[in-house]
Chains A and B, each alone.
Chain A
Amino acid sequence: MRRSKLAIILLLFTWNGLLSQETGTKLSLDLSGATIEEFVDQFETRSGIRLYFQPEWFREMRVDYVADSVTADEAIREVLKGTGLHYGYISSSVIVILPESRLSTTLPDILSVEARQGSAVAGQEYLGMNGSQYIQGTRPEQITRTISVGNPSSGTSRSVARVKGKLIHVETGEPVAGATMVILESGKGSISDQYGNVIMALAPGRYSAQFSFIGMERVSAALEVYSDGEFQLEMSPAVIALNEVQILGEQYRDISSTDIGVERFSMKSLKQLPVFMGERDVIKISRLLPGITSAGEASTGVNVRGGSVDQNIFYINRLPVYNTSHLFGFFSAFNPDIIRDFSIYKGNVPVNYGGRLSSVFNILTRKGNNRIYTAHAGISPVSAHLTFEGPLRKDHSSFIVSGRSSYSDWILKRIKDPEISNSDAFFYDVAASMNFEPGTKNTLQLFYYQSFDDFKYADLTDYEYANRGGSLNWIRNISPALTSKVTATASTYRFCNVDKSEISKAYSHEYLLNHNEVLADFTWVPAFRHSVGFGSSLILYRLDRGVVEPFGPSSIRKRLELGFEQGLEGSLFISDDINLLSWLSLYGGFRYSSYSRLGPETVMLYEPGKPKAVNTIVDSISYGKFSPVRFNSGPEFRLAMNIKSGQNTSFKLAFNQMRQYLFMLSNTVTISPTDQWKLSDYHIDPQTGYQFSSGAYHIFPDMGISGSVELYYKFARDIVEYRDGADFVNIPLTETQVLQGLQNAYGAELMLQKTSGRLNGWINYTLSRSEMLVAGDTEFESINHGNPYPSNYDRPHVLNVVANYHVSRRFSVASNLVYMSGRPVTFPASLYYIKEVAYIDYYARNEFRVPDYFRVDLSLTIEGNLKADKLMHSTWSFNVYNLLGRKNPQSIFFRSEDFFVRGYAFSVIGVPVFTLSWNVKLGNYESN
């Protein structure tokens, strides 16, 4: 540290006072997370000015400073901001930094450069964080950064400067999405999009900005806005320290934005939560949030705010995934290793999303590390996974590849029952992405995803299903005010089912769905506190519902084509997010969506006024290739309002309208993996939904607790329900098997969360109802005799408690507690005898409930040692799922046995499940 030792020379200075010896020389600096030495290096080379100081004053300080054409004076002033240090010129090429504001000027001599160099004392370097042997448990006390945006010389010619920032992860270089930037002076904030961009329109001037995100260090910085411009800010992961772990949510976002009914996670923040069979699972975790439930352990998908499973869309990097489960819903099809974070929109959905009535799950994967090659791996009793990532070109492009595969067959093989030991269960998923940043204006992301499941039960049945797809995202910063994102995706879902239970009617059935989409999405910040989004999307659906083919030589099954379907969904959307008054923000969104069912197709026409059935067919119409069979379109309004009442409280109101053009054919109570997706058609109307929601949010900053209450009322039309005994494999005419009705849902969601401290977590309670009504003209066209009935997923009371306690940095304990009302079930109304056999008469649908669900999980996580210099770091997790061993029935059913009808309760997991899993990664505790 040749220039750092000032102890002996200070007294020799002649102080020239705090004279501004502005030389007029402008320099550019580009520092992020730099040590003071690095700053000094860059500053000295670029300005030609020497700096003198005592390194102890800057202990652990990091410099983040990106500026174009600033004076040396401005630069040094910014860097020293907040340090309590002062500086002065000794000559035009020498600056001295001192702890006092004034320096004695009586000292006679000026030390020469040589002397200063000579005074450097070797071996006296301080141990910075990187140099220490162990990772420190506390964060750097003060991080001083200054961000200058725009050109100071351009002055304040405009009243508004468009400030665009890109937030990136310091270690991996990947964007930080969902982070908030808050201007403390105004309380106004912005949230980074999936590419890490934050956009704000600010009047030129000086601000204090705060950047924060779950699991990341909060960054406070001074923001100097001169004119339109961009900046980049690196955020570092929060050391999972004794004193702070953020789990979920960002308090400021709740208060400042017009978001309502939105949940966000960072995967990292969830790594201590108890899991089932050692598999961390975003969908299982989402079920711990208010308003999100499921039918039980073995069920695909989720029910969001009283909506059915097919009313949710799951995106992974904007790639739609149509079957999100492995092994009949026990695990989700997303490898947690590659997930960076995910958001769930269940209230007001941004206008650039549509197509499903209940919710949008938006999963974003990590970008590969663009600095070093690294790997993660892990093993649980069910599966093993491996992730490898690294730069393609350092700092510019990167890749990440991850795979997971089950090896669970050995469990089946150990069962004595011949039918079970002849069964196989297998799944895998792989995901890969590449990111390119050619220049500063463009970002390209290429993503591929595939999942596969195979289940063979003895010689009776084979199931196989797979998702596959890719997406290409191109983001371009057209100007600081205007950003475009263009996405092209192609997604395929297919399944194959072979039923060999009776050789003469054995069949195979293969189903295929293609979703091809192009989306253009623009964000424009025209003025102060004002952001406009607009764009358009086009989706081409191609469904081959498949052919039921005879299987094997003895099968006499008729070959049956279930049909090919084609549809085009288009949308135009525009939104305006404006902060009108300091206490009032408004979001107005409008989406116009349209749907054309396209040929080739032959449509049956039925006798008017009669139920649709094979015997009421009177005519048919044939449509040629790509000719429109039916056209539907309609507006979707998305409106939201935020009224702030002080720094810590806000109230929100929202109205949300959605349209859905495809649905799932399912005659089972829970969704099974062979349920087919189907497009709206000539007979089956698109589904439309409306939601009114309101919320109150409050932060108790001293306690680190935030609380919210959200209320919603939902109403949906043309929800598809199924006739008793509906059959989708033998009958191609779906309209004869389904009925359409109304859905009503309402609820109140209370959430309290604590995001800091040794003990953190959340408690939420949801009171809600979900009801269906299918009342046709005749009994045959009605369900439940035309009376309203609870939906299969109606759960009036739900309580979730998630608690995480950090005993030490290497050891933490976490627990989940889940209580839910039992799901509705149809009970026998009476019993009767025919030929001495007892039969059951069912009358009222879903009038009773299975017993309430209650479960406690526990996990212990033990981290490897905290040595900074090591090859790899490993983590052991010990999990107990259903600690109390409670038998929570998933269903109640009745069977006729001899002269009685016996009731049975089927619980999927009736005992505590203990699992141990091990994860390892290259690098130390803190490595990504």
Chain B
Amino acid sequence: MKAIRRVGILMALAAFLPACVERYYPEDADLFTGMLVVNALLSNGSGTQVINLSRSDGLVFPEYMPEPGAAVQVENEEGDQIGFTDSGDGDYLADLPEDFLQEGGSYRLLMITSDGKRYESEFTTLQPASNIDSVYYRLETVPGDEPGTTLEGIRFYLDFHVDSGSGRFLMWDLTETYEFHNPPYEGFIYDTDRVLKPLPDSMSDRQCWITLHIPEIFTQETGNLTAGRYSMKPLHFVSNQTQRLRHGYSLLVRQLTLDEAAFRYWDDLKKNVQEAGALFDTQPSITPGNICSCDDPDERVLGFFTVSAVSEKRIFVSDLEGLDVPDLLFCFPTFEFPRLSYFRLRDLPIFLSRATWPETGEIITGETDRKCLDCRLYRGSSGEPPDFWPEG
């Protein structure tokens, strides 16, 4: 973890010297917006495969800009092609035949965008899979965002085996699922009929399961390692300052085996966004992908087409010993709000909740975010537990 080391030195010197890190707001640095972005990571597991197409945006107020209406195909060396269908929001889906992605096979991506431009990727080879031994966690204290503060929580670790048969270039893709509870406040709705009504049950849910992709890339090259057990590959850290560790937490670790080009791409990307910012900074990498335009060789296409063997491991965390997960007060209603009649019609409906301020016992009714009454509205949230969620 070079990042840890680098940040480490930074922190130590920050303590030793009056160093300082501040937010920096760039001015009109967006130069190459509107470039085609391809996220195509196909894995040899079963299920629906997703290829996502979008356009790049500027830095200052970025938005996700999906690319609709493209024809997307994946081709193997024999010339067999499988088409992906546009399912909206830039996602193109296909169910690959079971024997299509094979170890040692080479594949490429072919695309025609709605403006008629043709794109294709280089051939990429599916590497042999290697297995995860175990995923586990340790209690840890890490430096907080503010100098001198700390955060308590758990860090996940991974053990895997390095041997001559396994792939040399590993990447881990993490997905977390946790049970989430909204506070037990009474909910109301004030809709266009301008009558304050209790919130109907269909619009309210207090217990949810949130599944999110961990926005961190973890990579490891094994070329410089001998055969044996690689222990304690550090993965992400979960602090006790959210609900994640309170009602149950599950982590799915997918170990991807990449070819060298794909590994370099993801590893450089990781360095660019996760490890920047230290005393001895490296130049950010220019990360060319493996997709090019057939019509204009100078056109830059972002993203990478990767096929990968996958092995998975899931771990469930509950009832942590030695770590206190505080019950944080959140979603408390706004203390003061104007008369309901002040709200313009177009701002309705608004949602309100009634809560008791814990210190004084004062009962407060105020405007609240709709998510605070219906947890299903959080990103990645569902009102039903996933299949793998333990009973009870």
Contact = CB atoms under 8 A, between A and B. Distances in A.
Interface string A721-749: 01011000010000000000000000000
B342 interface: no
A841 B302 contact: yes
A890 B280 CA distance: 10
Contacts of B5: 457, 460-461, 499, 501
A784 B285 CA distance: 10
B12 A457 contact: yes
B299 to A, nearest CB: 13
Interface in B25-65: 25-26, 29-33, 35, 37, 39, 52, 54-59, 62, 64
Contacts of B221: 730
Contacts of B64: 833, 836
Given A420-B11, A893-B277, A896-B215, A829 B32 contact: yes
Contacts of B37: 832-834
Contacts of B233: 502, 504
Contacts of A725: 264, 267-268, 271, 282, 285
B153 to A, nearest CB: 15
A158 B3 CA distance: 75
A814 B225 CA distance: 56
A903 B23 contact: yes
Interface in A874-928: 887, 889-896, 898, 900-911, 913
Given A420-B11, A894-B276, A895-B273, A829 B16 contact: no
Interface string A798-837: 0000000000000000000000000000111111111111
A560 interface: yes
B272 interface: yes
Nearest to B142: A419
Given A328-B279, A831-B62, A832-B303, A906 B141 contact: no
Interface string A296-328: 001000000000000000000000000000001
B283 A669 contact: yes
Given A843-B31, A901-B273, A905-B21, A834 B225 contact: no
Nearest to A889: B24
B284 A842 contact: yes
Contact of B22 (A826, A828, A907): A907
Contact of B230 (A419, A556, A848): A556
A505 interface: yes
A887 B231 contact: no
Given A503-B232, A903-B23, A419 B8 contact: yes
Contacts of B264: 725
B321 interface: no
B318 interface: no
Contacts of A485: none
A26 interface: no
A415 to B, nearest CB: 5
Given A841-B32, A843-B286, A458 B281 contact: no
Nearest to A845: B283
A36 interface: no
B31 A838 contact: no
B33 A503 contact: no
Contacts of B4: 460, 501
B15 A830 contact: no
Contact of A909 (B19, B55, B224, B300): B19
A667 B33 CA distance: 28
Contact of A826 (B54, B213, B226, B283): B283
- Measured as residues with beta carbon below 8 angstroms from the partner, the interface class of chain B is 35 or more
Contacts of B162: 556
A495 to B, nearest CB: 14
Contacts, number: 267
Contacts of A890: 279
A839 B269 contact: yes
B211 to A, nearest CB: 12
A416 B300 CA distance: 48
B30 A829 contact: yes
Interface in B366-388: none
B150 interface: yes
Interface string A401-427: 000000010011001111110010100
Contacts of A505: 220, 224-225, 230
A830 B285 CA distance: 14
Interface string B209-242: 0000101000011011111111111100000000
Contacts of A504: 225, 229-233
B23 A724 contact: no
A670 interface: yes
A672 interface: yes
B5 to A, nearest CB: 5
A900 B62 contact: yes
A906 B234 CA distance: 26
Contacts of B328: none
B363 interface: no
Contacts of A458: 8, 12
B10 to A, nearest CB: 8
B279 A908 contact: yes
B39 A834 contact: yes
| Residue of B10, B55, B225, B229 with most partner-chain A CB within 10 A | B225
A804 B18 CA distance: 27
- Measured as residues with beta carbon below 8 angstroms from the partner, the interface class of chain A is 35 or more
Contacts of A476: none
Interface string B301-321: 011000000000000000000
A730 B224 contact: yes
Contact of A903 (B19, B26, B32): B26
Contacts of B150: 417-418
A831 B286 contact: no
Contact of B229 (A417, A556, A560, A844): A556
Contacts of A159: none
A425 B283 contact: no
A45 interface: no
Nearest to A844: B31
B20 interface: yes
B9 interface: yes
B326 to A, nearest CB: 20
A419 B19 CA distance: 17
B16 A460 contact: no
B1 interface: yes
A855 interface: no
Given A841-B302, A895-B277, A903-B23, A910 B18 contact: yes
Contacts of A419: 8, 11-12, 143
A842 B18 contact: no
A724 B162 CA distance: 27
A415 B148 contact: yes
B16 A408 contact: yes
Contact of A906 (B15, B19, B35): B19
Contacts of A499: 5
A914 B228 CA distance: 53
Contacts of A904: 21-24, 277
Given A832-B56, A895-B274, 20 more contacts: A412-B12, A417-B150, A418-B141, A419-B12, A460-B4, A504-B225, A556-B225, A667-B283, A830-B30, A830-B35, A830-B58, A831-B59, A889-B24, A894-B273, A902-B23, A903-B23, A906-B10, A906-B277, A910-B20, A911-B18
What 3 A-B pairs have minimum CB-CB distances, sorted nearest first? A910-B20, A896-B273, A672-B280
24 contacts: A412-B16, A455-B12, A457-B5, A461-B9, A501-B5, A501-B8, A502-B1, A505-B220, A505-B224, A557-B224, A669-B280, A722-B283, A725-B267, A730-B223, A792-B283, A830-B32, A830-B57, A832-B55, A835-B39, A843-B31, A901-B59, A904-B277, A906-B279, A907-B22
Interface of A: 298, 328, 330, 408, 411-412, 415-420, 423, 425, 455, 457-458, 460-461, 499, 501-505, 548, 550, 554, 556-558, 560, 667-672, 722, 724-725, 730, 779, 784-785, 792, 826-845, 848, 887, 889-896, 898, 900-911, 913
